[in-house]
Amino acid sequence: MTDPSVFELRKFVAPEIVYGDGARFLAGRFASIFQAEKILVVTDPGIIASGITAEILESLDEAGIRYSVFSDIVPNPHAESVMEGARIYKDNHCTGIIAVGGGSPIDCAKGIGIVSSNNRHILEFEGVDMVEIPAPPLICIPTTSGSSADVSQFAIISDKARKVKIAIISKTLVPDVALIDPSTLMTLGPDLTLHTVLDALTHAIEAYVSNAHSSITDIHALEAIRLVWSYLPLVMQDPTNLEYRSYTMLASMHAGLAFSNASLGAVHAMAHSLGGFLDLPHGMCNAMLLPAVIRFNYQGAQERYDTIAKVMGIDMTGSSGEARGKLLISTLLNFYHVIGFSSNLSEAGVKKSHLMDLADKAMTDACMVTNPRQIEREDLLSIYESAL
């Protein structure tokens, strides 16, 4: 049967990508191409301690480009950090931004850029296509293999007052250049490795079953799933193996290109609500919720989930639709066991009394629009409860 998405009009956005060992050292060259007189380097204390930030600053020195450094960033970057970064950007008369780090510095850098160009508070941009004026030139150097913020049109910012993460989605947030260097992954510890790569897996699965998927995003999503499934267990066994790490970085890139253009679904909507409420690692939230959401969504996208199962090497021969869905979920849970992931919502601090508030906030998240099955507030309550 012909897939109608092959004929549908689609737009695919992506940054210029330079991938490979040593890509990070091109930061100064690309800043020169953009004729940036002064760069704001957005990073965090951990990346500074790793020595990676110093390498980027040396590249800028060699190119003769002045810079200021903003590193007051915590995991799950909040609006206050964005606004402070925007103040520093303006006070130092910067004309471009380089983000060095995982999703937190990159999302914060995106926020700084749009605040600087639009002169509005970051929380005013929540939703889809709310950014009127493009941000200054942005170069991203990712140091984790999960968030894919370096290639996407998404930025996720925490609203501490409401205890929720907001999604800002705009083509103006697509970075100008992504310098993707797998060598930067060698400093990651086991928990951060696990959570970020499981984030990439969730990106890819949700993009593939999204009701806004296309033949282009499908290619990237399935390749990301294949790479995570094949190489994350090997990375957890041998974390110093650069080849294995490189494949997880490729997985993150492919997943980002997929979800940036196909969007996501209920897992991310629920994870944004959960992560904002308890300030938990985003990839951890996604992984805890993914099996329960697949269980709910399966009947709304059976063929797509079955294709994912085939990429995972699952033999569906002779199984009915309901049995295939259960087999996919049990295989995913076994994968979690193999890689050492066993968290659930109860262990993370979620109580039944929290679920109503979590569901209310998830219902308003932009990612819910592209979930493959219509979902109501009562469904979210049930999904959250099943993940406790």
Phi and psi at 193, nearest 5°, equal -60, -50
Contact 167, 272 (CB under 8 A): yes
Q: Give pLDDT tens digits for 16-67.
A: 999 999 999 999 999 999 999 999 999 999 999 999 999 999 999 999 999 9
For domain 16-185, give the CATH number.
3.40.50.1970
Question: What gap in Å lies between CA 154 and CA 170, rounded to an integer?
Answer: 7
Average pLDDT on 132-141 reads 97
Contacts of residue 30, defined as CB under 8 A and 6 or more positions apart, other chains included, come to 139, 176, 177, 179
Phi and psi at 220, nearest 5°, equal -70, -40
Q: Give pLDDT tens digits for 262-271.
A: 999 999 999 9
Whole-prediction pTM: 0.96
| CA angle (370 as vertex; 249, 277 as ends), nearest 5 | 75
Residue 7: predicted pLDDT: 73
Residue 260 is which amino acid?
Answer: S
Contact 214, 183 (CB under 8 A): no
Pick from 72, 130, 67: nearest CA to 105: 72
Question: What gap in Å lies between CA 191 and CA 341, rounded to an integer?
Answer: 9
Query: Domain 188-386 is classified in which CATH homologous superfamily?
Result: Dehydroquinate synthase-like - alpha domain (1.20.1090.10)
Residue 5: predicted pLDDT: 66
Contact 92, 65 (CB under 8 A): no
Q: Where in the chain is the domain with CATH 1.20.1090.10?
A: 188-386
Contact 367, 269 (CB under 8 A): yes
Whether pLDDT at 284 is above 80:
yes
pLDDT band, residue 281 (cuts 50/70/90):
very high
Beta bridge partners of 18: 179
Whether pLDDT at 345 is above 70:
yes
Q: Give pLDDT tens digits for 56-83.
A: 999 999 999 999 999 999 888 999 999 9
Residue 318: predicted pLDDT: 82
Question: What gap in Å lies between CA 272 and CA 58, rounded to an integer?
Answer: 36
Residue 343: predicted pLDDT: 87
Tokens of 123: 């929380």
Rounded (10°) CA dihedral 247, 252, 258, 260 = -160
pLDDT band, residue 316 (cuts 50/70/90):
confident
Average pLDDT on 116-145 reads 97
Q: Where in the chain is the domain with CATH 3.40.50.1970?
A: 16-185
Residue 317: predicted pLDDT: 86
pLDDT band, residue 8 (cuts 50/70/90):
confident
Q: Give pLDDT tens digits for 347-387.
A: 999 999 999 999 999 999 999 999 999 999 999 999 999 99
